[in-house]
Amino acid sequence: MAIAPILPSSAGKFPLSDYKSLANEELSARITVAREKLGEKLLILGHHYQQDEVIEHADLRGDSYQLSQMAASSKDCRTIIFCGVHFMAETADILANRPEKLVEREGLRVKVILPDMAAGCSMADMAGIRQVEEAWQQLGEVIDTSDMIPVTYINSAASLKAFCGKHGGIVCTSSNAAAVMEWAYERGNRVFFFPDQHLGRNTALTMGFTNDQMPVWNPYEEDLGGNTDEAISGSKVVLWKGHCSVHQMFRPEHVEQFRKNNPGIKIMVHPECPQEVNDIADISGSTGKILKTVEDSPAGTEWAIGTELHLVNRLKKEHPEQEIHFLSPVVCMCATMYRIDLAHLAWACENLVDGDVVNSITVDEETSDYSLVALERMLEVS
């Protein structure tokens, strides 16, 4: 089978600066026209945290797990525009271009576009591959790492997913972390979980592990991530010291305040929230679960929801029959998700109509192959 070469990303004939001054109505109309011209060859995927005007143009929307499934099962499209963040676009590139898909398409690669390359994830940036490799090597001086399963949250660079693929590990998302951890304990005695300490801890607590079995690995501490030999030897989960800057803003006092002022209110949070918030919430779950729970609730239900602002505001708008509050008194929005706006989307779409793939995300072959091992394990588990 001839594999089509990976085309380099292009700056496009139409410069981004031409779009920045246009009004949203015009941008939206131009996206719709471009979309029609591209037909089924284009798939626009949108994460639930995207702003309303952007998500309206998504063919499919979902949480991280659902979006990776959508990319994996995409059929006729030749290009995916990913309205989300960098690690999501990388995952889409790996899954949409896995070997059996390339055979089906006679070597033709699906191109994945991230409309703004600056749309990263601050949590994913908290764990670099060199730091993880260094940690693994140091851990191996104290414990038998052949008995330790590395688990990376999908919010991580492809190189970390590849690390997991190489070392008998797996990827998880917020919707399948418990099932993935169980998979890991069927194969090993310990888990090395990165980069989100909160998702790792909240999940391990539901499995009966205790905080004293979960040392936190600080990559900026020279020796054993700031831990003693005993702490590592006695560990069941070693948690990477990473967090989401959005979800760490939710505090237990916000929960208490709502419960005091609004008796009967239900608190629902994302498991990236710290333990002290997650423990006292009524429900904890992925963005997909949060959305479904509201959709399935009767009129009159009152919620305070602790996750990114755009999703909560959309739920408020779409469910006027319920009373929905944002859990924090201060704005908690994902600044990088917000970078994807109509100007970037219109720029990417119109250049694509003209034959130019701007801001294309391509994971190199070796990283892609090993990442796929860890991603496919996840897709099988959940």
Q: From the list ligand SF4, ligand 13P, none, pick the one residue 93 interacts with, judged by a Cβ distance below 5 to 8 Å according to partner type.
A: none
Q: How far is the CB of 196 from ligand SF4 (least distance, A)?
A: 7
For residue 85, state whether it binds ligand SF4 (rule: CB under 6 A): yes
Is the Cβ–Cβ distance between 156 and 87 less than 8 Å? yes
For residue 248, state whether it binds ligand SF4 (rule: CB under 6 A): no
Applying CB under 6 A, among 122, 206, 262, 382 the residue interacting with ligand SF4 is 122
Is the Cβ–Cβ distance between 148 and 190 less than 8 Å? yes
Q: How far is the CB of 272 from ligand SF4 (least distance, A)?
A: 6
Q: How far is the CB of 308 from ligand SF4 (least distance, A)?
A: 5
In this complex, which beta carbon is closest to ligand 13P, that of residue 63 or of residue 341?
63
Q: How far is the CB of 244 from ligand SF4 (least distance, A)?
A: 3
DSSP annotation string for 254-305 = HHHHHHHHSTT-EEEE-TTS-HHHHTT-SEE--HHHHHHHHHTSPTT-EEEE
Hey, how many other C-beta atoms are within 10 angstroms of the C-beta on 221?
Answer: 12
Sheet holding 266-269, edge to edge: 283-284, 266-269, 302-306, 323-326
Q: How far is the CB of 224 from ligand SF4 (least distance, A)?
A: 26
Closest by CA to 106, choosing from 2, 24, 208, is 2
Measured CA to CA, the distance from residue 382 to residue 377 in angstroms comes to: 9
Q: From the list ligand SF4, ligand 13P, none, pick the one residue 184 interacts with, judged by a Cβ distance below 5 to 8 Å according to partner type.
A: none
Q: Which long-range contacts (CB under 8 A, 24 or more apart) does 264-269 make?
A: 264/302, 265/302, 265/303, 265/304, 265/325, 266/301, 266/302, 266/303, 266/304, 267/303, 267/304, 267/305, 267/306, 267/327, 268/293, 268/303, 268/304, 268/305, 268/306, 269/305, 269/306, 269/307, 269/327
Q: From the list ligand SF4, ligand 13P, none, pick the one residue 64 interacts with, judged by a Cβ distance below 5 to 8 Å according to partner type.
A: ligand 13P
Applying CB under 6 A, among 308, 328, 352, 371 the residue interacting with ligand SF4 is 308
Q: From the list ligand SF4, ligand 13P, none, pick the one residue 31 interacts with, judged by a Cβ distance below 5 to 8 Å according to partner type.
A: none
For residue 43, state whether it binds ligand SF4 (rule: CB under 6 A): no
Q: How far is the CB of 123 from ligand SF4 (least distance, A)?
A: 4
Q: From the list ligand SF4, ligand 13P, none, pick the one residue 286 interacts with, judged by a Cβ distance below 5 to 8 Å according to partner type.
A: ligand 13P
Residues at the site binding ligand 13P, with contacts judged by CB under 6 A: 48, 63-65, 155, 173-174, 244, 270, 272, 286-287
For residue 337, state whether it binds ligand SF4 (rule: CB under 6 A): yes
In this complex, which beta carbon is closest to ligand 13P, that of residue 30 or of residue 310?
310
For residue 119, state whether it binds ligand SF4 (rule: CB under 6 A): no
Per DSSP, helices labelled H in 188-251 are 197-206, 229-233
For residue 244, state whether it binds ligand SF4 (rule: CB under 6 A): yes
Q: How far is the CB of 195 from ligand SF4 (least distance, A)?
A: 9
Cα separations (Å) of 60 from 70, 202, 250? 8, 29, 29
Is the Cβ–Cβ distance between 201 and 214 less than 8 Å? yes
Measured CA to CA, the distance from residue 78 to residue 89 in angstroms comes to: 14
In this complex, which beta carbon is closest to ligand SF4, that of residue 143 or of residue 273?
273
Q: From the list ligand 13P, ligand SF4, none, pick the one residue 51 interacts with, judged by a Cβ distance below 5 to 8 Å according to partner type.
A: none
In this complex, which beta carbon is closest to ligand SF4, that of residue 102 or of residue 361?
361
For residue 121, state whether it binds ligand SF4 (rule: CB under 6 A): yes
Is the Cβ–Cβ distance between 142 and 217 less than 8 Å? no
Summarize as ranges the residues that interact with ligand SF4 (CB under 6 A): 85, 121-123, 155, 244-246, 272, 308, 334, 336-337
